[in-house]
Each structure stands twice: as C-alpha cells, then as structure tokens.
Amino acid sequence: MRAPSGLLGPRGPLPLALLCLLAAACGSLAEGQPSVSPLTSLPIEEERITKYSNLSLESHNIPPTVSPLTSLPIEEERITKYSNLSLESHNIPPTASPLTSLPIRGEMMTKYSNLSLESHNISLTEHSNVPVEKNITLERPSNIELTCQITISRGVNSVNVTWKKGDELLENYLTNATGCILYAQYMFTIINSKQMGSYSCFFGGEKEQRGTFNFKVPEIHGKNKPLITYVGDSTVLMCKCQHCSPLHWTWYHSNGSVQVPIDVQMSEKYAINRTNANETRLKIMQLTEDNQGSYWCHAVFQLGESEERVQLVVLSYLVPLKPFLGIVVEVAILVAVILLCETYTQKKKKHIDDGKEFEQVEQLKSDDTNGVENNAPRHRKNESVSQ
C-alpha cells in the first residue's frame, strides 16, 4: 500500500500515530479554533528545528520603515562607534521679527544684565506746537529705558500711542495712565551701531504730539579757528573727547575731497602722541606750504565713529613782510606828496612876495616923480617972491 503524497518522512511512510494527531488537529480547526498564523507555532517550530538540526539556518528580516531620524539606541550605538569624529549640529532658527517680543526682550535684558541702565524721559503737553527732542550720548552698549508722558485734559483712552525708530514701527511697548497723565515706555538694549539713531513716541488725537530721543556717539573737539604757522616750523594738532575713551584714533589729511590716512611708520615727518586715551596729538615737522589744508582726527567707539576737522595754514616769511612793505610805500608816497605841496606853497608864496616888492618899487618911483614935479612950481614961486 503506497502512502499518500506529502506524508512521507525521510525514511518512509509516517507512523499511524502521527496521522491521528494530524486528523485531530484538523478537527479542532473545524470546531472554530483560531487559525494558525503564517508563522509556525512555537512547539511545532522547535520540533522542526530539532528534526532538521543537521541543516543550516538562514534568517531574513524585513526591517520596518526607518524614520528620517535614527532611533535612540541605534543612534547611541552609532555615536559610540564613531566617537572620534566631530559632531556638528545645525538648527534653522524661526523667523525673527524686526522687533523683539516682550518675553524675548526681557530675556535679552536679563542676558545683558551686566550692562548699565540708561533711563531718559520726555514730557509733552497736548497743546504744544513744537516736537520735543532729547540728544543722548552713548559710548558703550547699555540697557535703555525710554519714557514719554503727556498731560491730557480729556480721556486718556482716546489717545493712540505709537513708537517708531526712524520710519520703522516698533512694538511691545508699555502704556499706563495715572489720572490725566498718560505714560508710554519702551525698553531695549543697544549693543551695536545699527541700533543707534532716533526713537520717537507719538501720541495721536486731535493733534499729534511727538517726542524724539536721538542716540549718538560722543563728539570730539579740535581747534575751532585755523592754526597759522610758518614754513620750516613745527606744529602740533590736537583732538580731545570729553569724558570718553575711544577705542582707536586715526589721523587723515585732505587737500581736497580725498582723505589720505597718515602713517607715522612710513614718514618721519609725522609723530602721534597717545599719552591719554581721550586725546590724540599729531606733530608735523619741517612744514612746507604743501602741508597746509584740512586734517581730520577720527575716533572709533564700540557703537560708532566720530571725527573732527582741524584747519592748518602754512605761510612763508615774506607774507608778514607784505603789510610792512605796504605801509612803507604808503608813508613814502605821503612824504612825497607833502614835499610837493610844500614846494608848491613856497614857490607860490615867493611869487606873491616878488609881486608885492615890485609894486612897492613902482610906488616909490611914482612917489619920487610926483615929488619932483611938486617941487618945481614951489621953486619958481619962491624965486618970484624974492624978486
């Protein structure tokens, strides 16, 4: 009798007991037992592995869909394996608004809590016709607190408050009302030159009122009047900053529209004295007329730059002689005119005297002639009497 196909073992037909077990298993399936999963149950799998232990085992797994980010255990294993390599992390920051929000600004001011706090106020009235401005000199990074207050006779709720930096609208400012006084406050931190400029508060109503805070770096001062010196001499140009210390000083020379930096290392003609941090001195030796012109002292601060002009005039020694020579010429001309006038006057006087003398002589001659004529009749008369 031939065993059915598929029921043959490695050495012949399967035993009858095994066939009974298979029949019992088929009966249990018909009574509603759960079906066997595609993966063989554990006891049958162990029996099969034991039975075919002489064969090699090959295992193939289909991994689940890997997420873009490696799971934590595998990631730790990989980092441990490649621990000798550097780790680079790149984050895409969220789009930052031009103006820092109030919580972030508070965090930023906490971050820069080591900086000094600058508080400035402006007071406005609702009937003012002129905007109020306040100039603020700032040398180093600082926390800034700006406050505008306005007195309103009507309800403060009808006033619209706005803050601007130049033409840029600002946000996250604070407002408060106490009676008829309305306060508007803006707090921020200045850490670079881009944050310098004008900050304005606007109170809108029937008539808009504006207060402006102008932030700028310290000014430097030089000689207001031109410095006059002479060819061959030496001179010293000085610039000074009151109550401030620039990070760096630079001198420029301009004899037109172009500014040329002065390099004391390349020329022995110039020397710069940096004894004090708040001032600089430029010494120019053996002056010539080519050295005259405008000199600029340039100061660099943490928050910006500032400069000042010093005018230098170099004269030759003939220049001061020109007024003296002019005076000498004027005196010579005046003396010549006086001498000519004197000579003319003397000649005229002499001519007049000669004319008078001539008249006197003529008069005497006339008198003598008349005398002779008068004496002749008298002589005749005397002769007739004597007869």
The CATH number that applies at residue 149 is: 2.60.40.10
Strands (E), 241-340: 248-254, 259-261, 270-273, 279-284, 293-301, 304-315
Q: Within this chain, do residues 272 and 211 fall inside the same structural domain, yes or no?
A: no
pLDDT at 99: 38
Q: Within this chain, do residues 271 and 288 fall inside the same structural domain, yes or no?
A: yes
226 within domain boundaries:
yes
Q: Within this chain, do residues 297 and 234 fall inside the same structural domain, yes or no?
A: yes
150 within domain boundaries:
yes
96 within domain boundaries:
no
Q: Within this chain, do residues 123 and 202 fall inside the same structural domain, yes or no?
A: yes
Cβ atoms of 250 and 220 within 8 Å: the answer is no
Q: Within this chain, do residues 146 and 165 fall inside the same structural domain, yes or no?
A: yes
pTM, rounded to two decimals: 0.55
- Last residue of some domain: 216, 233, 258? 216
Q: Within this chain, do residues 192 and 204 fall inside the same structural domain, yes or no?
A: yes
How many domains does the chain divide into? 2
Q: Report pLDDT digits (tens) over 79-115.
A: 455 455 444 433 333 333 333 344 555 565 567 778 8
pLDDT at 77: 54
Residues in the chain with pLDDT values less than 50:
1-14, 26-45, 49, 57, 59-76, 78-79, 82, 85-102, 381, 385, 387
Please give the C-alpha separations between residue 292 and each of 230, 308, 311, in angstroms, as whole numbers: 10, 16, 8
Cα 30 to chain centroid distance, Å, stands at 92
- Last residue of some domain: 262, 284, 316? 316
Cβ atoms of 247 and 169 within 8 Å: the answer is no
pLDDT at 64: 41
Among the listed residues 283, 274, 218, 285, the one whose alpha carbon sits nearest the alpha carbon of residue 249:
274
Task: Tell me the C-alpha distance between 359 and 257, whole Å.
Answer: 83
- Last residue of some domain: 316, 334, 352? 316
Q: Within this chain, do residues 185 and 242 fall inside the same structural domain, yes or no?
A: no
Token readout for 276 is 């004090």
3-state helix, strand, coil split of the chain in percent (to 5) is: 30, 30, 35
| Owning domain of residue 198 | 114-216
303 within domain boundaries:
yes
321 within domain boundaries:
no
pLDDT at 90: 36
Q: Within this chain, do residues 261 and 205 fall inside the same structural domain, yes or no?
A: no
Cβ atoms of 150 and 124 within 8 Å: the answer is yes
pLDDT at 235: 94
Q: Within this chain, do residues 209 and 226 fall inside the same structural domain, yes or no?
A: no
292 within domain boundaries:
yes
Residue with tokens 């050495």: 11
